[in-house]
Amino acid sequence: MTAQVPITAGIETGGGAWRFPADRPLPLDSGATLCPLEIAYKTYGTLNATRSNAILVCHALTGDQHLASAHPITGKPGWWDLYVGPGRPLDPERHFIICTNVVGGCMGTTGPASLDPATGEAYGLKFPVITIGDMVRAQAMLIEALGIPTLFAVVGGSMGGMQALQWAADYPEKLFSVVCIGAAARHSAQNIAFHEVGRQAIMADPNWCGGAYLKGGVRPEKGLAVARMAAHITYLSEAALQRKFGRELQRDGLSWGFDADFQVESYLRHQGASFVDRFDANSYLYITRALDYFDLAAQHGGVLAEAFVKARNVKFCVLSFSSDWLYPTIESRDIVRALNGAGCRASFAEIQTDKGHDAFFLEEPLLQQTLSGFMAAQAQARGLA
């Protein structure tokens, strides 16, 4: 499935890590710069002769570039395997699909665990606070370096959807279409509150060492696991948790102690324990911070429609899930209202499902059909079909 056609000399076929030279730093919204910048990415499929079939997929908070191939640490299938593949909405036989690890991440792109050239040690808390805008700016640098003038689509769920909206605001001339799934144009007070709990859990772990844990050869695994557990609850609907676990016990009878008596406890503990094997605690701090700072309207004088006024030639597809309480449908409706206000063409659908926020990467036939339909229509409009 992976492309064997080199795009540009020096790019690893199927992805790799792109290291920008020292004279190409990443300017950040904070005013700082990040240098050197390295972007880890994966590609699937082949860029066509007119360079018109490239799709950038943006990942969510704890995602990475391993979109549709085995994860190098966990060995599990790619996180969007159900949506990327022959006959699927994103099809490497027709599309050239790119996924980059975000700036601040921990899977190869420059982040807080990278070496700070000023000290020769891992950045830790010396890493600059980054934004969704910074993530997108870095992606745009890579897309340009790959020799792709315009993207057929930018597609993302959750934080990936926020990046897709930010692309529309910042680089509308480089986009043909945008798909934003289960996202919001700004983080709500409740969203920020849950992230703050996670950050406090990490920073409460003495192994966090003020962010310098790599130097000491330790990791704040317990704190990171608690952060993941709290967040994980928000990814599932109450109904899905009840359907999957209810009050089912792990064993016959109660333990009358603090072992995991209920299956939902065991499930959450597993989510926490497996997360720490593949994720860096400081990356979790930085990426949650980027999400909390995200407010697309605030970037445009408080008027969300203003973010999209230059994107009138871009076709938008906005999708939400009826049981998503992290980024509920009302948030997607606000986005659509702003797109309409800006004169953009936007399709909107609320997918009826009880799976909650995580529905965007679960088996969800309505999502698959809706996405396939939108991509097919855009392919025709783009002359790809």
- What residues act catalytically? 158, 324, 357
Type of residue found at 314? V
C-beta of 59: minimal distance to a copy of itself in Å?
23
Sign of CA dihedral 12, 14, 16, 18: positive
Residue 39 parent element (H or E) = strand 38-44
Chain residues binding a copy of itself by CB under 8 A are 30, 125, 128-129, 186-190, 192-194, 196-197, 199-201, 203-206, 222-223, 225-226, 229-230, 233, 238, 241-242, 244-247, 254, 256-258, 260-262, 264-265, 268-269, 272, 285, 289, 292-293, 295, 298, 325, 328
Compute, in degrees rounded to 10, the torsion defined by CA atoms 139, 144, 146, 151.
Answer: 70
* Beta pairing class for 38-44 and 96-100: antiparallel
Structure tokens at 235: 């990814």
What is the chain's percent helix, strand, coil content, to nearest 5? Answer: 40, 15, 45
By beta-carbon proximity to a copy of itself, the closer residue of 17 and 230 is: 230
C-beta of 138: minimal distance to a copy of itself in Å?
17
Alpha helix stretches (DSSP H) within the chain: 132-145, 159-170, 189-204, 213-216, 221-235, 238-244, 263-276, 281-293, 329-341, 365-382
By beta-carbon proximity to a copy of itself, the closer residue of 48 and 250 is: 250
C-beta of 247: minimal distance to a copy of itself in Å?
6
C-beta of 83: minimal distance to a copy of itself in Å?
27
By beta-carbon proximity to a copy of itself, the closer residue of 144 and 196 is: 196
Interacting residues of 168 by C-beta distance below 8 A, sequence separation 6+:
154, 175, 178, 307, 308, 311, 314, 316
C-beta of 30: minimal distance to a copy of itself in Å?
5
Structure tokens at 376: 């097919």
By beta-carbon proximity to a copy of itself, the closer residue of 175 and 335 is: 335
By beta-carbon proximity to a copy of itself, the closer residue of 12 and 196 is: 196
C-beta of 192: minimal distance to a copy of itself in Å?
5
Contact criterion met (CB below 8 Å) for 223 and 234:
no
By beta-carbon proximity to a copy of itself, the closer residue of 231 and 367 is: 231
Contact criterion met (CB below 8 Å) for 14 and 43:
yes
Question: Cis link prior to 128 (omega < 30° from 0)?
Answer: no
Please state, as a whole number, how many other Cβ atoms lie within 10 Å of the Cβ of residue 288.
25
C-beta of 217: minimal distance to a copy of itself in Å?
17
By beta-carbon proximity to a copy of itself, the closer residue of 265 and 306 is: 265
Cα separation, 174 vs 154, in Å, equals 10
Type of residue found at 27? P
* Beta-sheet strand order (sheet of 54-58): 15-19, 38-44, 96-100, 54-58, 153-157, 177-181, 315-321, 345-351
